[in-house]
Structure 1
C-alpha cells in the first residue's frame, strides 16, 4: 500500500505544481510584474551584501598592511638598528620587521617628493632610521595598544606610531554596514511576504465559488490550499532567479570601471562576484518567502470561505 500511494502522492503534487505554473501563464502581465517586484526586492540586499564583502576584502588588505613605525633616535647607527630589528623579530606578537636606515629613508623620500634640489641643500640628513613592524594581532585593539606602549618605552625609540583611530573607524564602518544590510534585508523580506500574501489573497477571492464547490463535494482545506502554496512557490522561485540575473547584470556593469580603477592604483584587488553562492541562496530564499507568504494568506482567508 505504501509503495502504491507514495508515487501517486508525488504525482498529484507534480500535477498541482504544473497546474499552478499554468495559472500564472494565463495572466502573464500581472505575473511578470509580481515576479519582477520580488526579484528587485531580493536583489537589493543581495547586491549590498556582495558589495560589503568586497569592501571587507579591501579593508582586510588595508588591515593586513597596518604597521607600527618605530622612528629611532638620530644618533642610532645602522649596526644597532639592525640588531634591534632582529631582537624585535623574536617577539611573539610581531610577525615581520623591516629596517630602513636614515640613508634609505632619505632616498625613498627623494623619489616620492621630487625635492632633489632642496634635499641637496640640507647640511645633513634630517630623517632618522625607521623600523617597520607588522603585528601578529591586527584585530584586537588592546593587544596592538599594549605592543605600541612597549615599543615606545624602548631606549632607542624616539616615536612609535600607529593610527589606532583609523582602525577603529574602519571596523565601525564594517559593523554599521552589516547592521544596515541586515535591517534592509529584513524589511524587504517582509515586503516580499506582503506582496505574495496579497497576490494569493486576490487569487483566493477570485476563486471563491470554485473553492465552495470543492468543499461542498468533500475537498479538504489541505486539498484547496495546495495550488495556492505552489503559486507562492513559483513566485518565490522565479523572483529569486530574477534577483540572481539582476545581480549578474549589475556586477557586469561595474566590473569594468572597478578593474580600470584598480589598475590605476596598481592594486591586486579583483571583484568577488559570489554568483555561485547567490545562485543557490537567492532562489531558495525566495522560495521560502513565497511559500510562507502563501501559507499565511491561505490560512487567513480559506476558513472564511465555506459552502452555504
Structure 2
C-alpha cells in the first residue's frame, strides 16, 4: 500500500494548479517562438515598425531633456537688481539689505557698494579713463537679489519687484527676464511636441500590434476551433496571443533603445562643435536606467493590452469564442 501511494503522489503533483499553470505558460511561449520562426520576416517587419514608432517619442524626449539642461546651464534664472539711494548711510543700507533678506522668496542678497559698482563698470565698459575724469562717483550701490528655487518664476519675480521697489531707500528695481520668458516658452513648446508625438506613437504601436494579432488569429482560426471542440478554455486560447503582443512590445522597446543610443552617438560630435562656439562644453545625455526600464515596461504593457483588445474583438467577430 505504501508503494502504491508513493506512485500516485507524482501524478497528483503534476495535476496540481501550479505545475499545470507552468505547463500552460511553457506551451504558450513555445507557440510564440514557433510562430516567430515560421513567419520570421513578418515578425521582423512588425518589430522594426514598432521600434521606429517608439524611437520618435524617445528622441523627442531626449531633445527636450537636453534642451532643458542646456537652458539651465547657459542661462541661469534672472536675479533682481535693486538700485539703492545714494543718500543712504552705511547703517541704513545694512538695514535695507537685511529687510530684503527677510522675504520668504529670497535665497541670498549680494551687496555691491558704490566703489565696487564703479570698479565693475570700469572693468566691463572699457571707459575707465573717462570715468576717472568725473568729480564724483555717479553709480549707486546695488543689491542683487537671488531668489529661491521655488520662486524662479516670472510671476513671482515680478511680484517681488513690485514689493521691493516700494521700500524706503530703493531707487529702482530691474528684472531682465525677457530672454528667460522666451527660453521657458521654447522649452515648453518642445515638451508639448514631445508629448504629442508620444501619444500618437503609442496609438500607432497599439494599432500595429493589434493588426499583427488579428492576422495571427485568422491564420490559426482552424486550430482555435479544434482547441474549443476539445474543451480548451478561453484563457488557454488567448494566452499565446497575449504573450505574442508582450514579446513584440518588449523586443521593439529594446531595439528602440539601441537606435536611440546610436542617435545620441551620431549627434554628440556635432553638439560638441556647436557648444564650443558658445564658449562652453555641453554633452548630450542619453536615457538613464530608470527611463529605459520605464520605456520597456510601457511598451510591454501596451503590447499586452493591444493584444487583449484585438483578440477579444476579433474572436467575437468571427464567432469563435
TM-score, normalised with respect to structure 2: 0.80
3-state DSSP class of the match of 2:78? coil
How far is the alpha carbon of 1:20 from its aligned partner? 0.5
CA distance in structure 2 between the partners assigned to 1:92 and 1:296 by the alignment: 53
Cα distance in 2 for residues equivalent to 1:46 and 1:81 = 53
Once the two structures are superposed, the pairs formed by residues 223-262 of structure 1 within 5 Å of their partners are 223-259=236-272
Greater CA drift, 155-164 or 269-278: 269-278
Paired residue secondary structure (1:196) = helix
Q: Which has the larger radius of gyration?
A: 2
Match of 2:110 among 88, 91, 98: 98
- The alpha-carbon distance between structure 1 residues 48 and 13, as it changes in their structure 2 partners (threshold 3 A), is same
Q: Show the 5 A alignment for 1:5-24.
A: 5-24=17-36
Q: Deviations over 1:140-179 (max 9, x none)?
A: 5554333212221233222101135555544444444444
Cα pair distance change 1:206/1:147, threshold 3 Å:
same
Q: Residues 196-243 of structure 1, C-alpha deviation per residue, up to 9 Å, x if partnerless?
A: 111111222222333333334433433332222221111111011112
Aligned length: 307
Superposition deviation, residue 9 in structure 1: 0.9
Question: In the aligned structure 1, how far is the partner of 2:272 from the partner of 2:22?
Answer: 49
Q: What value does the CA root-mean-square deviation take over the aligned residues?
A: 3.2
Match of 1:128 in 2: 140
- Return 5+ residue gaps in structure 1 as ranges: none
1:265 and 1:216, CA in 2 relative to 1: closer, same or farther beyond 3 A? same
1:38 pairs with one of 41, 50, 59: 50
Contact 1:78–1:101 (CA under 8 A) maintained in structure 2: no
Note if contact 1:67-1:134 (Cα within 8 Å) is conserved in structure 2.
yes
Indicate yes or no: 2:228 matched with 1:204. Answer: no
Shift of 1:260: 5.6
- Check if 1:278 corresponds to 2:291: yes
Q: Deviations over 1:74-99 (max 9, x none)?
A: 45566754553344334443221112
Please give the residue correspondences for 1:119-198 in structure 2 after superposition, counting only pairs within 5 Å: 119=131, 125-136=137-148, 137-139=150-152, 141-198=154-211
SS in 2 for 1:99: strand
**CA offsets 1:47-76 (integer angstroms, 9 cap, x no match):** 322332333344456786321001223455
